[in-house]
Amino acid sequence: MKTHEIKKILLAKKRELSTRQISQEDIAIDKNAEVLDEIQRNADRTLALDSLTRKWKTSTLVSEAMERLEHGTYGVCVECDEQISEKRLAALPWAKYCIRCQEIADRETVESSWSEAA
């Protein structure tokens, strides 16, 4: 894939992320008289916050990918300096890790989540 095509894809994703908004009402804490309404509202708020977090993380990855593109390091794993496969970049143009390093990072994230939960 050519640099200008990659940049076009990354800019489109950046625009998409900036247009999807979560309102304050989606995450506001309301006390309801009905217990079931409060439980539903808490679940909705959790989903909205998770969505906001994923959006922020993806936006950060897209920005970092654009920087790597500008610096000529796009497509190189930031952990091991190996080339990221074309297939992976086609599926996830903002990928910063090769498959092997991504699996390690994911495992470390899961392990730290379990440690914090304990």
DSSP letter string, 88-101: HHHH-TT--S-HHH
pLDDT mean by block of 10 residues, the chain; 118 residues: 89 86 63 77 86 91 96 96 96 96 93 71
pLDDT of residue 2: 86
DSSP lists the bridge partners of residue 49 as: none
Q: How many helices (H) and strands (E) does the chain have?
A: 5, 0
pLDDT of residue 51: 87
Q: What angle do CA 8, 12, 14 make, to 5 degrees?
A: 115
